[in-house]
Structure 1
């Protein structure tokens, strides 16, 4: 097995642990946190939104650290910090301490989750990074599948505090040694080179203003993040309000498998597509999914198609947020760029559930869906504008570009 393949499998393991312990476990344990400390469940979810916002604010600094010190070193620190954050949260005795613990968890998550792992693959595999990022997202896509039932099973036999303490141990015993090994590997790309996704290190033709293209990419990715965050939190209540009743849970269950399916299909057929075009398809699926739900609900078949399209688009989004910046701008400064993109996405995602709930309460379901359709269309438009900029610069979209 090649070093690149080993890296993907090892990162797949640490990403499953990272997302499972630092993100997916929260929804299972949140009711017990609230009951244990005598808090309203809404307060706990509000603290979690604040934590996501804090993660978004520190993301640019983490990105620059990745370029300066290497992704492996940053992820090594992140493993220790994540373990400490979980212990801090597990020992919280009051509401402020719980909030501090949740903020610490989501801040340290930035050091060990996708964006840091993507940067590590860029630095360690160079020209092969795009393909390896796709493989990694396929493996890590099973984080919720594994950790939702695992957390529930553990919580049946121990308190939420003990679950977090066990998860802290996972970061030290499992993730830390892997990240230490990664930190010792020699770089083949990254901050000191300008590797292009196909391995051609010749100078790339300029597509014009890279600052404008990056701003458009930031807008597109942030809007897609807002739509996904708003829908994921409110999907079941939204489907119920649209008249699907008890079938809402079944419709929602289609989302997860569709996410994984999109990554499998992309491995087989997406290699011939430029990552920017794949990003446009991903955002376009959001528009189709929401439009279908708006005009055809409560027809069950339409709702199932909505969930499938939404899952396919969301699955592709996880891939393109790592591959598009590399394809457009090369690997020089990749960590800083992806840090800024992650920051904007997380900040908007943190306010999306509250903002969308407010719209649903004040204006109704139809207006809420129209709002999300409009935001998804704006995302497609921002990505299309980058496409036009490339075309005007005479750049094509062949896989060997």
Structure 2
């Protein structure tokens, strides 16, 4: 615990006394606005659009659905594998260079994706998308915000993170219909070209021109990794990894299987899709409520309570989900925490360990949590075929309970 206070204190001491706070705050708002735009477009083009391209790509490449879907899993796993290295880069150099380079790579990868003609080419391009995602999506964006809103501005950090996630929370609502319209009118290949142009025209200049690193005292490069390695061996940090790995798997499983399970419970496909669509809206609501509650109570217990509510929603779905009201109630309970983990982790890391090595620590957590986000739905599908969807919901509820317990243990540590 003492090392966290030392790191946080060093970061605060590094802020020059004569720095213009008003100018810094103004530029901080520009950074938040820029990241809100790039995260929305980034998640839309690099993450959500894949589901729209799945069927036409499968036909065009003469492949099976699982073969093409495996490319997306590869992209997510690549993102997870790159997260620790990207975290070290962000701690060492700030966000401008890594995120600008990632934006260029993402644009080129989207263009290359539009030209693939075989599965090996698709896998190679999606691996590049995975690398780019590690450089430009939430983890590096949060690292930039956490580093900027430090010291006297630390109290504004929660609202800055909330603003970015609220705007980016509408990425699926914008880019799923947009991608579908582009595919219908121009085909999936030209749709990717259009997305590449949109993303490159927005993200590259915004990351290159707006992102800026705060002027702090220099840290010797040879010592940058030492706080990360020391913290990663502690019990509280391992509890954080456990909590957010378990929770990310639960959320990903529900996101992938909810529509299918609601249909199996006897609901019409249109109803199932509409109810599942509530998750996106609820993710915004949950973040707003959690940020408000965090002003009165510690973040870890608040998030733990939300995770327990999610677990209850998943556990009750097989029992109450056969009626429309029961299904909606269970989805509302689970959806209340759909986006809570995203904004809680940055707060917990910065609160206990400071900002000097935030990106490296965040990358260590992402290595496991993002990998589980890719692997958990695959395991859940296999489990459903063997033991049924009711068992899957029980496992999801157990994962939420495990995450809640780990957060409470972290809070007491």
**What is the TM-score when the length of structure 1 is the normalising length?**
0.88
Instruction: Give 2:61's aligned residue.
Output: 37
CA distance in 1, matches of 2:411, 2:300: 7
User: Are the equivalent residues in 2 in contact too, given 1:11–1:117 (CA < 8 A)?
Assistant: yes
Give the one of 164, 173, 181 matched to 2:201: 173
Correspondence 1:132 to 2:160: yes
CA 353–252 in structure 1, closer or farther in 2 if over 3 Å, else same: same
Q: 1:335 aligns with which of 336, 355, 359?
A: 359
1:239 to 2:266 alignment: no
Q: Match for 1:187 among 183, 198, 214?
A: 214
CA contact (8 A) 2:74 2:130 kept: no
2:8 counterpart residue number: none
Instruction: Give the CA deviation at 1:264.
Output: 3.2
Partner of 1:159: 187
Q: Secondary structure at the match of 1:314?
A: coil
Indicate yes or no: 2:387 matched with 1:359. no
- Per the alignment, residue 239 of structure 2 pairs with 216
- Counterparts of 2:217 and 2:32, CA distance in 1: 17
Does the 8 Å CA contact 2:30/2:210 hold for their aligned counterparts?
A: no
Does the C-alpha gap of structure 1 residues 299 and 188 become closer, same or farther in structure 2, counting only changes over 3 Å?
A: farther
Partner SS, residue 2 of structure 1: helix
Q: Residue 343 of structure 1 aligns to a residue in which SS?
A: helix
Shift of 1:267: 4.8
Q: 1:279 offset after TM fit, Å?
A: 2.4
Deviation string, structure 1 residues 143-178 (Cα, Å, up to 9, x no partner): 111111111111121121112122222232111111
Deviation per residue, 1:74-94 (Å, 9 max, x gap): 111110111111122111111
Cα distance per residue 1:106-141 (max 9 Å; x no partner): 221111111111011122221132321122111111
Q: CA deviation at 1:44?
A: 0.8
Equivalent pair of 1:67/1:333 in contact (CA under 8 Å): yes
Does 1:113 pair with 2:140?
A: no
2:108 counterpart (80, 84, 89): 84
Task: Write the deviation string for residues 233-270 of structure 1: whole angstroms up to 9, x where unpaired.
Answer: 11111112223344322321222211122233345444
Contact 1:86 1:164 in 2 (8 A): yes
Stretches of structure 2 lacking an aligned partner (at least 5 in a row): 1-24, 221-230
2:324 and 2:308 mapped to 1: Cα distance?
22
> What's the CA shift for 1:295?
2.9
SS in 2 for 1:272: coil
- 1:283-310 deviations in whole A, cap 9, x for unaligned? 2232121122133221221211121222
Query: Could you tell me which residue of structure 2 aligns to residue 198 of structure 1?
Result: none
Q: Does 1:95 align with 2:123?
A: no
Q: Which moved more, 1:165-174 or 1:26-35?
A: 165-174
Distance change (3 Å), C-alpha of 1:190 and 1:35: farther
8 Å Cα contact 1:130-1:323 kept in structure 2: yes
Q: Secondary structure at the match of 2:176?
A: helix
- Aligned pairs, number: 374
Q: Distance in 1 between matches of 2:61 and 2:237?
A: 44
Whole-angstrom CA distance in 2 between matches of 1:190 and 1:224: 36
| 1:186 CA drift (Å) | 4.1
> Equivalent of 2:308, from 284, 298, 303?
284
TM-score, normalising length: structure 2: 0.86
Contact 2:299 2:348 in 1 (8 A): yes
- How many angstroms does 1:326 deviate by? 1.3
Structure-2 separation of matches of 1:4 and 1:249: 38
Relative distance call for 1:209 and 1:171 in structure 2 (3 A) is closer
Whether the aligned pair in 2 keeps the contact of 1:20 and 1:148 (CA below 8 Å) is yes
RMSD between aligned alpha carbons?
Answer: 2.1
State the partner residue of 2:317: 293
Gaps of 5+ in 1: 194-207, 390-401
Cα distance in 2 between the residues matched to 1:110 and 1:245: 38
Per-residue CA deviation, residues 330-356 of structure 1 (Å, 9 max, x unaligned), is 112100011111111111111111100
Partners in 1 of 2:403 and 2:359 — Cα distance? 23
Query: In structure 2, do the counterparts of structure 1 residues 53 and 20 end up closer, same or farther at CA, with 3 Å as the change threshold?
Result: same
Q: Partners of 2:291 and 2:112 in 1: how far apart?
A: 40
